[in-house]
Structure 1
């Protein structure tokens, strides 16, 4: 390493340490504020507060507002502290969400099949409960020190009967506002042209931080592209890997 590279490396390290110090200070300030507004905030760890801060670009006021809204929502929507499988029987019966394996960064891998989703009577509320159930399950399976997950959204066979814009937006809102900075990467695969019409309706509601994590993968490059993030022994069998799909409720 020459002197210029050494200086650049030191500058990067110094910048990283400075950013970490700024984050720690802001976490402390935000914690004091939210605990005075809602004593239940004392039960959460600093990592959660940091995720809300990062989701609002370290703006304490905006992050605090989002976090306090989340605490109130959680008490109302998940009064028992968890969503039971008996509350989402129709969603589970569609057999559309799976989880197994870890990517190269140690993030859990989740696979969802868009063509297996259908609207059901009273389905929006159950779909929202299913989103919470799934995200809670993912978070509970994260290795120590990991905060994010990788998702593969497989849209093969998707058609008008699967289109559920209200449902998609409701699930998106829960992901962005209640589980901020949990999504590490979303790979959208096997995309039919028809789905792109629905995507144009959803896209404006995706925040900028989330947009950066979304990639569409060409079918002809599917396996090779997924292997950039996932080792073959952790890749689902249906994409040329070694692991069988495990339903979310069995994972």
Structure 2
């Protein structure tokens, strides 16, 4: 079992609750012992340190994980069509050392989407970015570039599915989502998505005005790590070109 060290500030009372949570979930599912204390702490924090609620959430996660990734990861072959569209790419790290990914929703077309494959793709890229999180960090940053987004890209069901997977099975992993180049028509879709986002996650979505785009990006990401298409020096890596990493949640 991994050490809890390096996972951010926590008081003795919180670690006691983590121990209580571990005892509760291992009594019901022995596979819980395979997950470290930092993972348990994220579920605990996601449920405001209520051990019973965190236990229910964590046990549901274990069952989901066995179904969503029975081999410990989603194989590339299972999401090949999604990967070919290059709608998610890996970037560098932000100023705090968090890795970030860049999403291009304008490359997603609802008419061509298979929901089962899309959900597997969401698991695939969350696993990829979480595997890149270094020791001492627990979160990642996301840049969502909505340039060119239109009605043919609008897929409310898919967006909600992705958010629910993140909230339910990757709690406390998202540090911030910078929404950039946002067209006015997207806000109509956002009004339908918003009710499905929990209170803690809502605050992490930041809509960046075009006038302050470069200032905001450079405040979060050093120029050496900023993607080339946003005026930086680092090329993006399409998800399909990333080497398969071990399971990470």
Q: Secondary structure at the match of 2:92?
A: strand
What is the match of residue 95 of structure 1?
86
Gaps of 5+ in 2: 1-7, 243-249
C-alpha deviation, 1:122, in angstroms: 6.2
Kindly indicate whether residue 18 of structure 2 is the aligned counterpart of residue 27 of structure 1.
yes
**1:61-210 mapped onto 2 (5 Å cutoff):** 61-119=52-110, 123-210=114-201
Residue by residue, what CA displacement relative to the aligned partner does 1:140-183 show, whole Å, maximum 9, x if unpaired? 11112211000000111111110111101111111000000000
Q: Secondary structure at the match of 2:141?
A: strand
8 Å CA contact retained: 2:68, 2:74:
no
What is the match of residue 7 of structure 1?
none
2: CA distance, partners of 1:38 / 1:51: 18
What is the match of residue 244 of structure 1?
235
2: CA distance, partners of 1:248 / 1:142: 16
C-alpha deviation, 1:220, in angstroms: 1.7
Q: Secondary structure at the match of 2:185?
A: helix
1: CA distance, partners of 2:112 / 2:197: 27
**1:32-43 mapped onto 2 (5 Å cutoff):** 32-43=23-34
What is the match of residue 4 of structure 2?
none
Tell me which protein shows more helix as a share of its residues. Answer: 1
2: CA distance, partners of 1:79 / 1:235: 35
1: CA distance, partners of 2:88 / 2:32: 31
Q: Secondary structure at the match of 1:24?
A: helix
TM-score normalized with structure 2 length: 0.91
2: CA distance, partners of 1:49 / 1:27: 6
RMSD: 1.4
1:58 to 36, 49, 60: 49
Residue by residue, what CA displacement relative to the aligned partner does 1:82-121 show, whole Å, maximum 9, x if unpaired? 1111101111111111112100111001100010011255
Of the two structures, which has the highest relative contact order with CA contacts closer than 8 Å and spacing of 6 or more? 2
1:229 to 193, 197, 220: 220
8 Å CA contact retained: 1:222, 1:239:
no
